[in-house]
Amino acid sequence: FFYWQSHSTAQDLVLLHGVEPQLHWHKFVSLILNLADQLNVHRIYTLGGLYDRVPHTKEPRISGVVNQRHLTRTLEEHQIEPIVYQGPSSLHGLLLTDCADRGIQAISLWGHAPFYVRVETNPMVCYSLVKKLAELLGIDLDLEELEKAGEYLRDMLDQFLAQSKDLRAYVHKLEQEYELEGTALREPPEGADRIIKEVEDFLREQRRKGETPP
């Protein structure tokens, strides 16, 4: 846990960073919310990422899910799209449900990463996600380093885009879908595994050559 005390507003922050447990989710969430009750926390944000059929050439999509209906307006005010998700339960979902039971507001934010960019950390998505969170919190954050890392990754991908006819075709299709579709999660297109491997091989080769982020 970390904390940040505001000198300009009445809102302070408590930050939790850790590894999601594979078991005992209910106990884990209960411990978090017990502390939240002790600290009089009135709203909890969670951050996550997911792979989607989105291009790296567009602004990363940020979607959100809330545990109280009136918070939907908050999403709309900050151009955060309501997420449409059907799949297995998650720790995020359990946390939002238990927050509602305790009368705590909760918003889960999700950054949509291109399915073909399988990197451990995607700074393009992280930058957009943290920037949106800062807007919601009404605070100023120095995101220059994260922004530069995202620009570096985008430049590397653009280099490969110029070399790969197949990737250009995929990205062009994704750009068209990006303009037309909502945030419903879609499966990667046919041949995605090959595209993913080609991008991974290219980025690995750049690292081998010493092309490291600034």
* Region of poorest pLDDT, from 44-58, 74-88, 122-136, 165-179: 74-88
For 27-40, write each residue's pLDDT tens digit. 999 999 999 999 99
Mean pLDDT (whole number) for 101-111:
95
For residues 88 and 133, which has the higher predicted lDDT (pLDDT)? 133
Residue 214, domain member (yes or no): no
Residues of the chain with pLDDT > 70: what percent? 86
Q: Which amino acid is at 96?
A: L
- Domain boundaries, position 99: 2-208
- Kindly write down the DSSP assignment for every residue of 12-44, as one continuous string: -EEE---PPPSS-HHHHHHHHHHHHHHTT--EE
Biggest CA pair distance of the chain: 57
Q: What is the CATH number of the domain that holds 63?
A: 3.40.50.10900
Residue 29, domain member (yes or no): yes
For 176-202, write each residue's pLDDT tens digit. 888 776 544 556 556 567 777 777 777
Residue 213, domain member (yes or no): no
Mean of per-residue pLDDT scores for the chain:
85
Residue 85, domain member (yes or no): yes
Residue 146, domain member (yes or no): yes
Residue 70, domain member (yes or no): yes
Residue 30, domain member (yes or no): yes
Total domain count, the chain = 1
Secondary structure of 191-203 as H, E, C letters: CHHHHHHHHHHHH
Residue 76, domain member (yes or no): yes
pLDDT category at 212 given cuts 50, 70, 90 is low
